[in-house]
């Protein structure tokens, strides 16, 4: 295979556009198994055009991987929101160690677990959780640079401890659910909040929510009347979907829309287009299984 790759890479600077397109398609067909080879070829080349074309090829291969993995995640039922967030993260950070993200989540979970008593009331549990999440680990809303795309990438939020409403809420809910604390995302317009759900206490989904949590505001606890007031301010009707837990697919769609907004603001049209392709995967292929 190496001889063919070597020959193909040598043709990357061919002035004939048809030849260079054919070469690119052939190289893309190999998939991610040739990334190491391409990166080595980039280091050995002194031709700026060849280097640029290699960079574009590597990006296309990695982007195809992200699209394929997101499709599999979605069509497989979208059960694991952490997996979905890691797939989105790989769009911008293809070389990241996904296991590091898992370890960081587990570390916070362990810290809460060491302190929590399951005899506590739901509010007491959340207050303890908030202490660990915000005071011990220092998570906070990124109010200074809310449009930064890194607010939507889970690896960066775990490193910087700063994020937007949805990224902080997702990390919060992932850890809570690992501790059997029933906290789930609520897809509120212009905001994203969490709901503490107790299925044993109610006959309808809306009544299952004991209270709501604002992950962007240090885990502030509030009630249904506050959601009513918020919707009234936006002149929106109090639809059921604004009060109860949303799906993992809803969350990923919202993360992708946030990224679209961030890249639009920075004028990065290529990324807007690519994020649009990812959004199309979770919007146009029918409901998840």
Cα angle value 115/79/180 (rounded, 5°): 20
Burial of residue 45, with CB atoms counted within 10 A of its CB: 0-12 exposed, 13-18 middle, 19 or more buried: middle
Q: Which helix (H) or strand (E) holds 197?
A: strand 193-197
Domains for the chain: give ranges and CATH numbers.
Answer: 2-75 (1.25.10), 81-281 (no CATH)
DSSP character for 222?
E
pLDDT for residue 288: 42
pLDDT for residue 145: 84
Per-residue pLDDT of the chain (289 residues; tens, 9 = 90+): 567 676 666 666 666 667 667 766 777 777 776 776 667 766 677 667 667 777 778 788 889 999 999 999 999 999 999 999 999 999 999 989 999 999 999 999 999 999 999 899 999 999 999 999 999 999 999 988 888 999 999 999 999 999 999 999 999 999 999 999 999 999 998 899 999 998 776 555 556 899 999 999 999 999 999 999 999 999 888 888 899 999 999 999 999 999 999 999 999 999 999 999 999 999 865 444 3
Asked whether the CA dihedral 205, 209, 214, 215 is positive or negative, the reply is negative
pLDDT for residue 170: 97
Do 150 and 111 touch, CB atoms closer than 8 A?
A: no
Cut 0.75: pTM above it: yes
How far is it, in rounded angstroms, from Cα 165 to Cα 219? 11
How far is it, in rounded angstroms, from Cα 156 to Cα 150? 6
pLDDT for residue 58: 78
How far is it, in rounded angstroms, from Cα 152 to Cα 112? 24
Q: How far is CA 167 from CA 22, 26, 55, 155, in A?
A: 41, 38, 29, 10
pLDDT for residue 118: 85
pLDDT for residue 239: 87
Residue-wise DSSP of 174-185 = HHHHHTT--EEE
Give the pairing type, strands 209-214 and 183-186.
Answer: unpaired
């Amino acid at each position: 295979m190496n001889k063919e790759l070597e020959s193909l890479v040598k043709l990357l600077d061919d002035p004939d556009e048809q030849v260079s397109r054919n070469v690119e398609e052939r190289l893309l067909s190999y998939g991610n198994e040739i990334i190491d080879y391409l990166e080595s070829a980039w280091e050995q080349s002194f031709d700026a055009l060849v280097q640029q074309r290699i960079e574009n090829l590597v990006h296309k291969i990695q982007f195809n991987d992200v699209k394929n993995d997101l499709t599999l995640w979605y069509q497989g039922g979208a059960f694991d929101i952490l997996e979905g967030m890691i797939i989105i993260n790989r769009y911008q950070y293809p070389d990241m160690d996904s296991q590091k993200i898992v370890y960081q989540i587990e570390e916070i979970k362990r810290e809460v677990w060491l302190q929590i008593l399951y005899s506590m009331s739901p509010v007491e549990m959340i207050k303890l959780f908030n202490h660990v999440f915000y005071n011990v680990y220092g998570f906070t809303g990124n109010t200074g640079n809310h449009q930064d795309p890194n607010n939507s990438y889970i690896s960066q939020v775990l490193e910087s401890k700063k994020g937007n409403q949805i990224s902080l809420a997702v990390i919060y809910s992932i850890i809570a659910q690992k501790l059997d604390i029933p906290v789930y995302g609520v897809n509120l317009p212009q905001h994203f909040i969490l709901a503490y759900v107790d299925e044993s206490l109610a006959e309808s989904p809306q009544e299952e929510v004991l209270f709501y949590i604002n992950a962007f505001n240090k885990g502030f606890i509030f009630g249904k009347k506050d959601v009513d007031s918020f919707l009234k301010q936006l002149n929106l009707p109090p639809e059921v979907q604004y009060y109860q837990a949303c799906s993992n697919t809803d969350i990923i769609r919202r993360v992708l829309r946030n990224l679209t907004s961030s890249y639009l603001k920075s004028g990065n049209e290529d990324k807007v287009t690519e994020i649009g392709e990812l959004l199309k995967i979770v919007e146009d292929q029918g409901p998840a299984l």
